[in-house]
Amino acid sequence: MDWNEVFDDLDTILHGEEEISHHAAGPSGRAPLPNYNDDARTQRFLMALKLLVARALRDQADKKHPDIAALIGQARTLRAEVVAGDAGQTIGLVRKLARLTLDLAELLEEAGIVRGLVEC
């Protein structure tokens, strides 16, 4: 897992919202909507979440830190979500994945479970 790539994607999704919205509309609104569920960055977020959740569970962070337990629950729910056809919902899902990935990485780093993922 290339965490630099994940954090570049996070920056694009969380701070470059106009870019993703523009691409979702397609040129002049005529192009087919992209499937963000199959998008490479969406897959990176899903893999990052899977790895972060596995690490948290291995260290039993969910039992020691209620905030981490809540994020793990959200990650499980969000990873199971299937969005078909509605670009607005799909873009929302990608943004939720991005935010959840960042939040979980930050909390795990604060708890000392992972190190060096989140830039200060």
Cα 40 from Cα 92, distance rounded (Å): 16
> Is residue 117 a part of any domain in this protein?
no
- 0.85 exceeded by pTM: no
Tens of pLDDT along the chain (120 residues) come to 788 888 888 888 888 743 443 333 334 444 444 555 557 878 888 889 999 999 999 999 999 999 999 999 999 888 777 544 455 567 778 888 899 999 999 999 999 998 877 654
Question: What pLDDT is recorded for position 40?
Answer: 80
Cα 91 from Cα 20, distance rounded (Å): 8
> Is residue 118 a part of any domain in this protein?
no
Domains in the chain: how many in total? Answer: 1
Show the domain range for 12.
Answer: 3-110
> Is residue 35 a part of any domain in this protein?
yes
